[in-house]
Amino acid sequence: MMGVSHDIRINLLPWREELREKKKQEFLNVMISVLFVAGIIIFSVDRHYSGEIENQKSRNDFLKREITLVEERIKEIKLLQQKRNELLARMKVIQELQGNRPIIVRVFDELARSLAPFVFFRSLEMNGSELAIRGFAESNNRISTQLRNFSESGWFERPNVTEIKADPTLGPQASQFSLTVVQTTPKKEE
């Protein structure tokens, strides 16, 4: 066998080429699988967070609606409280008027009883419990008598003359006067 020399040539290129193609195909398959799995994961995460965001938005909208309702109710409550306070104030005024009605009648009665002779009242003005009286009298002695009558009455206290002016048109000794007196209620009457 000597004479025959065969060079055996082995072509490894197609085998290597096939192996390279096979590995390339496997790599592409793995890449496609990884991309597919990554896409599914990203899509799932996106859907999850989108769902959470939508859920939170619906909660926020619900809270905004409830807050608006509560604010409207608070306004209604404030209006009702204001109306209630106004009604209570009116009731208090009415009760005071009802309670003071006999006192006012009694004060006018006492004014008539304590009126000195030849003393005439022109105007009466009440501010709180202070009564301002303007009038005229035959003489200054009559004004003094009027002050004593107020002092002796259980319905008046602290009579005080604020002004006396002579007025000869009403008589030779006549005077116009202004005085104040504080209205009180006797203890037995309360």
Top pLDDT among 7 and 88 is at 88
Q: Report residue 9's pLDDT band, with 50, 70 and 90 as the boundaries.
A: low
Task: Please check whether residue 133 is in contact with residue 147, taking contact to mean a CB–CB distance below 8 angstroms.
Answer: no
78 and 161 belong to one structural domain: no
Tell whether 5 is covered by a domain: no
- Is 97 found in the same domain as 38? yes
Task: Enter the pTM of the model.
Answer: 0.45
Residue 6 falls inside a structural domain: no
The answer to whether residue 10 sits within a structural domain is no
Residue 2 inside a domain? The answer is: no
Judgement on whether residues 88 and 142 belong to the same structural domain of the protein: no
Domain that holds residue 165: 118-183
Question: Looking at the domain assignment, is residue 188 inside a domain?
Answer: no
- Tens-place pLDDT, residues 99-126: 666 777 777 777 777 877 888 888 888 8
Same domain assignment for residues 110 and 136 = no
Q: Could you tell me the CA-to-CA distances from 85 to 73, 80, 91, 119 in Å, in that order?
A: 18, 9, 10, 46
Task: Look at the chain and report how many structural domains it folds into.
Answer: 2
Mean pLDDT across the stretch 131-159?
A: 82
